[in-house]
Chains A and B, each alone.
Chain A
Amino acid sequence: ILNVEQSPQSLHVQEGDSTNFTCSFPSSNFYALHWYRWETAKSPEALFVMTLNGDEKKKGRISATLNTKEGYSYLYIKGSQPEDSATYLCAFRMDSSYKLIFGSGTRLLVRP
């Protein structure tokens, strides 16, 4: 059974703090790693799809890195704002598979 783990489960930070969280996935047969942002009462929205070892992607204050050899990805948020409060999901896709396996998410709360 393939396992995707995210840590921490939840995180409370103060507005302006920078933060990061981790997604761990199987290091063999890697195809892609997705990050999604899921706000309460809304649908998950894609942040990044990463495919290459060493890949770094950025969208505004949010960035992500990927290490496929050791099986982890980091998501960074610089200068957190209350509107960043959401659950951040990562999802792993194995080579030659159309299945997407999600982690259980990191719930971020940014206090004003």
Chain B
Amino acid sequence: EAQVTQNPRYLITVTGKKLTVTCSQNMNHEYMSWYRQDPGLGLRQIYYSMNVEVTDKGDVPEGYKVSRKEKRNFPLILESPSPNQTSLYFCASSFMGLDEQFFGPGTRLTVL
């Protein structure tokens, strides 16, 4: 089944404790992206990647890192999480980056 998977689905952590949210897709898509969703603000793009080893900032990259060492994986790293990073996070992928995006199930992160 074609899909985008994210892990973990739920995470409660404390300020400053490094964490990684994994994202993987099995559709051989070139493009992958991370979004955060906050009430009243819609989806905001954090980082995106057009291909292996090619990443670029979205609209809200501060406090996040990403890497794209393999085509299928695009982990989101929070080196020192803070409470304002409490949010619902979605990973998405698309074939060439200019067409419809397929979203993962979401990761709900709470930073205390």
Which residues of A does B touch, CB under 8 Å?
A: 4, 31-32, 34, 36, 42-46, 49, 89, 91, 93, 98-105
CB-CB under 8 A for A101 and B41, given A43-B106, A46-B102, A49-B100? no
Pair A46/B101 contact, Cβ less than 8 Å: yes
A32 to B48, CA, bound (A): 17
Which residues of B does A touch, CB under 8 Å?
A: 4, 31, 33, 35, 40-45, 48, 50, 56, 58-59, 90, 97-106
Q: Which residues of B contact A102 (CB under 8 A)?
A: 35, 42-45
Q: How far is the CB of A10 from chain B (nearest CB, A)?
A: 11
Q: How far is the CB of A39 from chain B (nearest CB, A)?
A: 12
Give the dominant DSSP class at A's interface: strand
A102 to B58, CA, bound (A): 12
Q: How far is the CB of A22 from chain B (nearest CB, A)?
A: 15
Pair B103/A45 contact, Cβ less than 8 Å: yes
A23 to B110, CA, bound (A): 31
Pair B98/A44 contact, Cβ less than 8 Å: no
Q: Which residues of B contact A43 (CB under 8 A)?
A: 4, 90, 103-106
